[in-house]
A = this chain, B = another copy of it.
Amino acid sequence: MTIQSSREFAALARVTPVGIGRQRVAPRSANPVVNYVAGERIFEQGERAGKIFMVKSGVVRFYHLLADGRRQISAFYMPGEVFGFAQKDTHEFFAEAVEDTSVSVHDAQEALTEESVEAVLASLFSAQRHLFVLGRQLAGERLASFLIDLDKRQGGLLRVELSMTRSDIADYLGLTVETVSRGLSRLAKGGLIRLHSARSIEITKPQVLLDMVE
């Protein structure tokens, strides 16, 4: 991990210069930017919390891990998105760079502005939507949800570029690698998507895909 310097997180407090609690004024000082290579850890379960992170470029997987190896990725964080909030003083999740990634680092206290509240709310709604996917959708529907969501976050180009492995997708969707693979093959055979490569997917029938999830 390499460290640079920047100040783009000042934007977080641009609208409202009145913060919460201790620190009333948004940080005007430069915030450090940290670069991680693919697979590198950003923080881990049990580690002391206190910083929050905004993705500048790349993708971050945020997950909980059990002793027996079961892993649940609660979210992939993409540019502009914020993560790292902790309930207690230690993290209960791992955060890792999926691909080469850079994040800006901010003090949790200073960053508690109106816009970081928005970020927490965004995480909450995203998690709640994902609860429905995990609790009530079949494998094919989960994949459809995933592709639609990724496409939207990548600009709606109907061409999804995956930086994560099938294993990451599986652990995000509560499935196995094999089921993810079979599901994508099946969507491709049905003509809903085209697998240009394993990691580059064209959505050829967006409406049908949408109809699958509601």
Q: Could you tell me which A residues sit within 8 Å of B by CB distance? A: 15-16, 18, 20-21, 24, 64, 66-67, 70-72, 74, 85, 87, 92-93, 112-114, 117, 120-125, 127-132, 134-136, 171, 173-174, 214
One of B85, B131, B214 near A131 (C-beta < 8 A): B131
Which among B16, B128, B173 is the interface contact of A74 at CB below 8 angstroms? B128
Q: Chain B contacts of A173 at CB under 8 A?
A: 135
Copies in the complex: 2
Known contacts A66-B214, A67-B214, A131 near B20 by CB under 8 Å: no
Residues of the B chain whose Cβ atoms lie less than 8 Å from the Cβ of A123: 124
Q: A66-B214, A93-B128 are in contact. Are A72 and B136 (CB under 8 A)?
A: yes
- Which chain B residues border A135 with CB–CB below 8 Å? 72, 134, 171, 173-174
Residues of B within 8 A of A15 (CB): 21
Give CA–CA (A120, B122) in the complex, Å: 10
Set of chain B residues within 8 Å of A93, measured between Cβ atoms: 128
